[in-house]
Structure 1
Amino acid sequence: MKISELLNPQAIISELSATDKKEVLAELTDTLVALVPELDRNRVLEVLHEREKLGSTGIGDGVAIPHGKIAKLGELQLVFARSTKGVDFESMDGQLAQLFFLLIAPEGAVGVHLKTLARISKLLKDVNIRKQLLAAKDAAAIYQIILANETSP
């Protein structure tokens, strides 16, 4: 399954207002809960914070992919966000994170969860795609960039 098939265009934040890691996780979660109201905001945040305790999901090159699993979730959910200023996400390379993908998967969906993480990582590994996403004028342009640069499954 492609990222663009999982990412609702309404789940794109073209400019985060958050200035630290905790605020980023809250803003991403609030966007997700607005689109999937059956999700418990506090439970999502708890899962994300627990995952971050294991090690930062800031993978470097200005990218962070906070993720976790929730019981009784029907399908995998994604939120994309951008911070042109950057946020300290305790990334492995020490750089500020600017591009964020929140990934929340159903508890039993190990395969699709890992495949989606790999797809996101592969997409954002390309420096030109990262530059395009940072330069995009709005959420619609961000979505089109993701759509245009995705490889087939």
Structure 2
Amino acid sequence: MNISDNLVKDLVIHELASSGKAEVLKEMVSALKATGFEFDVEKALGVLNDREKLGTTGIGDGIAIPHGKLECLEEIVVIVGRSRDGVDFESLDMKPCKIFFMVLAPEQGAGAHLKVLAQISRQLKDEAFRQAFIDTNDKQELLNLLGVS
């Protein structure tokens, strides 16, 4: 399984406009809605915010991996965002997050959900990859880095 297996170019946001945690979640969920996918944005945000209440998904090193399960999904969806300036995501290391991978999964199929989270985590352990992600100059460069065509 590669990090690009669950990525599509319309769900890669080269520069997030949002500057706060709640706004980032909304911007990323709204990107999915903008692709024509029919679902309740507020319900999705509720699921993500409920997960954040359990503990931040800002894991450190400038990375946040917000995730949740939605009953309306049939397959896993990954939404990627970058913030050059960083966003206070209440990260474990208290540093701003610049790299965002949102994982939305169907209610059933926890195994696949966990595999995707693990693959993303493995890729993001690579400091050179993280720096290249942050340093991308445009969306195409970010897509190339992620292996999305």
Question: TM-score when scaled to structure 1?
Answer: 0.93
**Structure 2 unmatched ranges of 5 or more:** none
Pairwise CA RMSD of aligned residues? 1.2
Name the CA distance, whole Å, in 2 between partners of 1:141 and 1:39. Answer: 30
Match of 1:102, as an amino acid?
Answer: M
Matched residues, number: 148
Residue deviations 1:50-99, cap 9 Å, x none?
A: 00000000000000000000013111001100000000000001110000
Instruction: Work out whether residues 69 and 105 of structure 1, in 8 Å CA contact, stay in contact via their aligned partners in 2.
Output: yes
Counterpart of 1:131 in 2: which secondary structure?
helix
User: How far does the alpha carbon of each residue in 1:16-35 deviate from its partner, in whole angstroms, 9 at most, with x for none?
Assistant: 11011011001011001112
Deviation at 1:140, TM superposition (A): 1.7
Matched residue, 2:19: 19
- Is 2:39–2:72's contact at 8 Å kept on the other side of the alignment? no
Structure 1 runs not aligned, ≥5 long: 149-153
Cα distance in structure 1, aligned partners of 2:104 and 2:30: 13
The letter of the residue matching 2:93 is: D
Partner of 1:125: 125
State whether residues 88 and 96 of structure 1, in contact with CA within 8 Å, keep that contact through their aligned partners in structure 2: yes
Work out the percentage of aligned pairs sharing the same amino acid: 44
Contact 1:9 1:140 in 2 (8 A): no
How big is the shift at 1:37?
Answer: 2.1
For residue 31 of structure 1, give the secondary structure of its aligned residue in structure 2. helix
TM-score where L is the length of structure 2 = 0.95
In 1, Cα distance between equivalents of 2:64 and 2:146: 16
Alignment match, 2:136? 136
Q: Partner letter of residue 56 of structure 2? A: S
Residue type of the alignment partner of 1:106 = P
SS at match of 1:25: helix
1:111-138 Cα offsets, whole Å, 9 max, x none, are 1100000011111111100110111111
| Pairing of 1:85-100 with structure 2 (within 5 A) | 85-100=85-100
Q: Which 4+ stretches in 1 moved above 4 angstroms?
A: none
